[in-house]
A and B are shown apart, each in its own frame.
Chain A
Amino acid sequence: MILTKQNLMPLLRNLTGAERDVFVPTQVDGVSKFALMDKGTVPDFEQVNTTMPPKDLLFPQTQKMYHFDVDANGSYRIHEYDESREQLVFGIRPCDMRSIVCLDEVFLTKGFVDEFYANAREKLTCVCIGCASAAETCFCASMDVDPQLAPNADVMLQDCGDVYNVIAQTPKGEVEVAAWAPFVEEGVVEPVTCEQSLAVSMEGVVDKLEGMYDHPIWDNLSIKCLNCGTCTYLCPTCHCFDISQDMRRKDGVRFRCWDSCMFSEYTMMAGGHNPRPEKLERVRNRFMHKLNFFERRYGMSLCVGCGRCVEKCPVALDITRLIDDVAAIG
């Protein structure tokens, strides 16, 4: 099936039904993120990937979990919130789709299902658009992500110059594409291969990282790090969160909010001990988690090569240079 780029906007306007929120990548007040599509928004499909990742749709920065209160005779009543809604994200990139694979692994597998995430995940349909060209910071190919392929997307639009190659990949995708009948035509087109200037080889990096606990490379790297939370909050696969509550006298709401392993308070224990007191431990932990720990636990790298942290780090700390340096060792 083929979808011409001119038909894209009419298709989008058609999709914004009442019962479903459609999110598209756009500029909101100078920040590019996935925002609700309504009359005024101008979707920007040219930009490779948005500054704010789409993880916010599945795992919002602040999410109300449940409300509790004490009734007259002193017993607690607890009511769960379910804020998940039918959502369609249109224009998500393959690297972000791959990050959703990681998030699914974390939130849905290994014997514990996070129902807040699960509800949101069920109600999310993803229409992925492949990349014809890459930004200078993109290196998803090196992290075994095909810029034109997203196996877990419901509908895959492969960018073929001025048309999209529409592939429905899941039953939900078929239903979706069926509704697009007036905008698509038959035929298959060869997708444009996307050249990436930035490439790293992950060859043996995961194993080498095992033995590098006290390696001086961490010291040189962590000295320049500011320990702010930018990279963790912009990273599509970072999933750490903290639970806190809003209290009133006898009732309150417990909510979940993003947290970053870069903050010292993240590992601060009640007695005042901090297992990761200095920047060095925290920076090492973050990169080890991205490149090694996740691989060992789930068999896939937690870095999808979207390049957001490389682009937005205030001190240009670069995960790709770390990978090159590790590869070059020994």
Chain B
Amino acid sequence: MTAQDTIRARARELLENGEVTTFIGWESGRFENQTTPLVITDASDADKLVCNEYCVNTLAKYARDVVTRGKVGMVVRGCDSRGIVRLINDQVINREDVYLIGVGCAGVRDRKTGELLKKCAECRHGDPVICDEMAGDAAGRPQPSERFKEVHEVELMTQPERSRYFEGVYAKCIRCYACRDVCPCCTCRECFVDQRRENWVGKQNNVAENRFYSLTRVMHIADRCIECGECERACPMGLPLMKLNRKVIKDLNDLFGEFESSMTLDEEPGKLITYDLVDCEEFM
């Protein structure tokens, strides 16, 4: 009984006895090794569900759209489950709205090259952090050693080099907002980029406005980022977005103490919405 068969059986069962109204998983796409997210409502589609090492999408954020239809069943690995925790802690969904079937994850592969994705090579939590039941045993992958390697590389560059490097990065951005729409931390009803009255960021696509958008988004998800790396994967232009997110996470850990967001439902509030009288002082 592979994990996939267990999931199919459980999905059919859950849908039949009405415990969940919809079930979210993956289905195979048109091309070889291609998968795409699938949301099924009747049990007969359960056999379309697949769960292999090519399921590249993180499913957490779909819970938000589907939860209005009733209880949602979902397959969760490490990144999905942390995404769900993030949605719950941000009051987007409630814990009883979702029924989570956990699956150990050994990392997913690119359908063309077959190599482990970058986000999975850097993944620190392959196994689900919360789930109602486990389909198959945990993969128990060791945590990668160098979490902030990329950040160190950029920090070693001189200031003009960094400036040119990031100007090059922002020149590529086409402002399609895939990074925002795939991120489980980005759940605002109306994003600041759409607020024409405040006109935070202009609609023109140039380095300055792209930088404004990127810096703001990094500051918005700073202490809640679950490091799933989906933004980097979804970006059509291949921007190194995790270099920015991880930089802020590294600073938060160095300055205000080790902290990994979205690991438990009762986690204490993020570092940027709390304070400590004895924070180190550098502005005196």
B176 interface residue (CB < 8 Å to A): yes
Report chain A residues within 8 Å CB of B65: 223, 279
B94 within 8 A of A: no
A246 touches B202 (CB 8 A): yes
Interface residues of A, count at CB 8 A? 43
Q: Give bound CA distance, A234 to B238, whole Å.
A: 14
In whole angstroms, how far apart are the Cα atoms of A265 and B38 in the complex?
27
**Which of A29, A136, A233 is the one whose CB lies under 8 Å from B176?**
A233
A263 at the binding interface (Cβ < 8 Å): yes
Flag whether B52 is at the interface (Cβ < 8 A): no
**Contact in complex: B234, A31 (CB < 8 Å):** no
A51 at the interface (CB under 8 A from B): yes
Q: Which of B183-221 touch A at CB < 8 Å?
A: 190, 193-194, 196, 202-206
Whether B204 lies near A255 (C-beta < 8 A) is yes
Name the B residues within 8 Å of A265 (CB-CB). Answer: 190, 193-194, 196
Q: In the bound complex, how far is the Cα of B196 from the Cα of A265, in angstroms?
A: 9
B175 nearest in chain A by CB position? A229
Q: Give Cα A242 to B205, complex, Å.
A: 12
Query: Is A229's CB under 8 angstroms from B177's CB?
Result: yes
In the complex, which residues 36-89 of chain B have their Cβ closer than 8 Å to any Cβ of chain A? 36-39, 57, 61-62, 65-66
Select one of B37, B66, B182, B204 contacting A62, CB under 8 A.
B204
Does chain B have a CB within 8 A of A18?
no
CB distance from A36 to the nearest CB of B (A): 14
**Contact yes or no, A316 B36, CB < 8 A:** yes
Cα–Cα, bound, A279→B62 (Å): 12
User: Would you call B34 an interface residue if the criterion is a C-beta within 8 Å of the partner chain's C-beta atoms?
Assistant: yes
Q: Are A30 and B236 in contact (CB under 8 A)?
A: no
A318 interfacial by beta-carbon distance below 8 Å: yes
Q: A320–B30 contact, CB under 8 A?
A: yes
Interchain CB contact under 8 A, B238 and A224:
no
Asked if B31 is at the interface of the complex by the 8 Å CB criterion, the answer is yes
In the complex, are the beta carbons of A223 and B66 less than 8 A apart?
yes
Residues in B neighbouring A316, C-beta threshold 8 A: 29, 34-36, 57
Q: Does B255 touch A at the CB level, under 8 Å?
A: no
Q: Is B181 an interface residue (CB 8 A)?
A: yes
Interfacial residues of chain A within 240-277, with CB under 8 A of chain B in the complex? 242, 244, 246, 255, 257-260, 263-265, 268
Q: Which residues of A contact B36 (CB under 8 A)?
A: 224, 315-318
Contacts of B234 in A (CB 8 A): 226, 228, 230, 314
Contact with A along B162-182 (1 / 0, CB 8 A): 000000100110111110111
Q: Is B272 an interface residue (CB 8 A)?
A: no
B246: Cβ under 8 A from any A Cβ = no
**Are the C-beta atoms of B178 and A314 separated by less than 8 Å?**
yes
Chain A CB within 8 A of B237 CB = yes
Is A47 in contact with chain B by the CB < 8 A criterion?
A: no
Q: Which of A31, A227, A242 lies in contact with B172, CB distance below 8 A?
A: A31
Interface presence of A326 (CB below 8 A): no
- A227 closest partner in B (C-beta): B181
Answer whether A228 and B178 are a contact pair too, CB < 8 Å, given A31-B172, A51-B236, A257-B204: yes
CB distance from B5 to the nearest CB of A (A): 23
A318 touches B182 (CB 8 A): no
Q: How far is the CB of B83 from chain A (nearest CB, A)?
A: 13
Interfacial chain B residues near A234, Cβ < 8 Å? 176, 236
Contacts of B175 in A (CB 8 A): 229, 233
Within 8 A of B (CB), among A20-78: 28-31, 51-52, 61-62
B57 touches A29 (CB 8 A): no
Known: A234-B236, A244-B204. A229 touches B35 (CB 8 A): no
Residue among A30, A227, A230, A265 with most chain B CB within 10 A: A230
CB distance from A33 to the nearest CB of B (A): 9
8 cross-chain pairs, A with B, having the tightest CB-CB distances, nearest first: A314-B234, A228-B178, A265-B194, A229-B176, A316-B36, A228-B181, A226-B181, A62-B204
Report A's interface with B, CB cutoff 8 A. 28-31, 51-52, 61-62, 136-137, 198, 220, 223-224, 226-230, 232-234, 242, 244, 246, 255, 257-260, 263-265, 268, 279, 312, 314-318, 320-321
Give me the interface of B with A, judged by CB distance under 8 Å.
29-31, 34-39, 57, 61-62, 65-66, 168, 171-172, 174-178, 180-182, 190, 193-194, 196, 202-206, 230, 233-234, 236-238
Q: A30-B238, A226-B61 are in contact. List 14 more A-B contacts (CB 8 A).
A: A29-B168, A51-B237, A136-B31, A220-B39, A224-B37, A224-B39, A227-B181, A228-B176, A230-B178, A234-B176, A255-B204, A258-B174, A264-B190, A314-B234
Can you list 18 residue pairs at the A/B interface with Cβ under 8 Å?
A29-B172, A62-B205, A223-B62, A223-B66, A226-B181, A228-B177, A228-B178, A229-B177, A230-B178, A233-B236, A244-B202, A246-B202, A265-B194, A268-B194, A314-B230, A314-B234, A316-B36, A318-B29
